[in-house]
Structure 1
């Protein structure tokens, strides 16, 4: 199903805000971390450890954020989040000492739960419930350019400015670009009521019903959460350690070129899905995305130090990660429906952030004890858990799960 005409403006506006939100609050950190460590007098590893603690804090806050999205409307929460993100970036830039810097990092990650996918997906569901799955796909296609744009932009800015000045520029971007977009979205006419007592929309929305029977929802959420946890562990481990992994496997400078395949593969995967994957259900897509991640790790471990093998790994891993971002929004909607989706997405975001905060450390321990290839195989084994979890969710839905979706939404 294509997005309705009225949804395209929302998708385009959200796409811009997601590029800025992810670029300023997430992708810039790795480039600026060495300078941050130098200024606060810490080893670089400690700064990344502070980021892990901040991600954990964001994960703990995410369920509350989800409930606020349902209660107050995602557009309003995202507008507040833009203000919070700008304030947190300024606080980090002006932090007089390490403790204040760590608190500012925590504030940045908490603000991220207000403005990134965990809030953007519920906004699309609240405004366009019948076509939200396609709208989420289009949004992730646009937002997939965040790393492509902000990795070089951050490097270029940091060549002329201190990391503090770069963060001040990024704070201004959140105020000048994201805040007006989110305020505009909050004031746009709504296509469905946020609560049963809200005013009725001009036209009744097409209901989005979940696939899971009420009696099985608790079990299905546990399985879905387990699947997302396994995927988050794999994705977070490899993304943080991408270049060190390739270097340890003997790829040297070729590893830098191979890692560049990852970003375009994400976007290419989403574009391919948009063009050719219209008939795939979110559950089928979840199984495919879960399978690509461990397959890519096994391939890398088996072919190292082959540059060609590493390039295929980066392409498969980028494809799997690109689909993983989409599944995080579409699978909960397909399984549980649009009612209370903000709170549901908050719980999903919490699982991803909490597991993602400990994953890099866990992988480092595995690689230290078993070698890099052993660590990759352990991560691949954990990734296979996601395949089993999502496939088991399919069994709970019964015969209603099909690869082809009806034009009026999930069956």
Structure 2
């Protein structure tokens, strides 16, 4: 990395604070759900589809909130959005720990969707883009995804230990405290509107390019191709992550072996992002995305056909983690490099709507498919098919983005 690209002390504090916040946000609000859901279902006598409807409700709310959250961040309200969202998340986790029936559970999970829209990657990428400007967005996104990649590695063993020792209710109380004391505090401390870089001035004294309106964005073919790619990715990853724990239990693995296989995903993501940061910081997002999207169907096909050995499963999750780690960066920088460099938060929010809706439906659909067939084999084939759509749609987006007219819009 060139010396000019290395973050200064203030930027390091900004990235470190937000990065630790991402570890805690994803670890407590996303990766822990399958473990907590299994324990809650067993305790309350609920079925798998009933539990996963709650997750779907939350993700639907997250989809509806994605665009307005992006607009608020574009207007400089990132600190209020991200710190306030974490405080609300803490309160909701505490309320979740007290539920005894489905209705309050569904209401709480739906409200947690608003929290996810306010504290996950999409808003933090938009905050970073305002801090570093369109040209420096890649640096901030890459650094933040390296931090976020540790969330499953850090939190899965903690959550499994808490579940074993204290049960799912006490586990939720601890996670709520972490959201309040760590995530909310760091988001409030490190986000400073006075250090935002607004839209770049035009060349040779000309006015800055206007932000594209919603109707203009929706007329861009590259927007729809990328939206399809990221929607297919969200469906596959959501179904996989929410069901990997019970899937491997069904195949005869012990709970602690399953957690081990899931824990390697985080280091694989971080390792891939670190290698990219060190050795290919300037690689075009189009080339990076095409290679990475092909790794997804290969890894899921291997998982579908592989014998049920722990070493095999660990190797497959490493490949998956590597691909997912790089793809998160691709998703974060595709908007400024392939669509437009103005209004990052709003554009990213629009693109997140179909992806988040699909992310909501996928775990429920996988649970229903499992209930209909009695095993996870059909679920794995469905996930593999979704990743094939991901690879094809991203290749189409690259073809559209490389047209001369499209390059003019991006610039």
TM-score norm. by structure 1 comes to: 0.83
Using the alignment, how far apart are the partners of 2:100 and 2:379 within structure 1? 38
Q: Using a 3 Å threshold, how does the CA distance of structure 1 residues 31 and 218 change in structure 2: closer, same or farther? A: same
Deviation, structure 1 residue 366: 5.5
Match of 2:346 among 334, 343, 349: 343
Using the alignment, how far apart are the partners of 1:87 and 1:186 within structure 2? 22
Match of 1:223 among 222, 225, 232: 225
Mapping for residues 11-410 of structure 1, pairs under 5 Å:
11-38=15-42, 40-95=44-99, 97-129=101-133, 130-187=135-192, 189-193=194-198, 218-246=220-248, 256=258, 258-305=261-308, 309-364=312-367, 372-373=376-377, 375-398=379-402
Deviation, structure 1 residue 330: 1.1
Using the alignment, how far apart are the partners of 1:285 and 1:243 within structure 2? 30
Question: Quick check: 96-105 or 126-135, which moved more?
Answer: 96-105
Unaligned segments of structure 2, at least 5 residues: 202-207
> What RMSD in Å do the two structures reach over aligned CA positions?
3.3
Using the alignment, how far apart are the partners of 1:72 and 1:241 within structure 2? 37
Q: Using a 3 Å threshold, how does the CA distance of structure 1 residues 78 and 238 change in structure 2: closer, same or farther? A: same
Deviation, structure 1 residue 33: 1.9
1:7 maps to: 11
Using the alignment, how far apart are the partners of 1:36 and 1:248 within structure 2? 18
Contact 2:153 2:265 in 1 (8 A): no
Q: Using a 3 Å threshold, how does the CA distance of structure 1 residues 152 and 312 change in structure 2: closer, same or farther? A: closer
Q: Using a 3 Å threshold, how does the CA distance of structure 1 residues 95 and 244 change in structure 2: closer, same or farther? A: closer
Contact 2:231 2:356 in 1 (8 A): no
SS of match in other structure, 1:128: helix
Question: Quick check: 10-19 or 156-165, which moved more?
Answer: 156-165
Contact 1:234 1:293 in 2 (8 A): no
Using the alignment, how far apart are the partners of 2:352 and 2:272 within structure 1? 22
Unaligned segments of structure 1, at least 5 residues: 197-205, 402-409
2:204 maps to: none
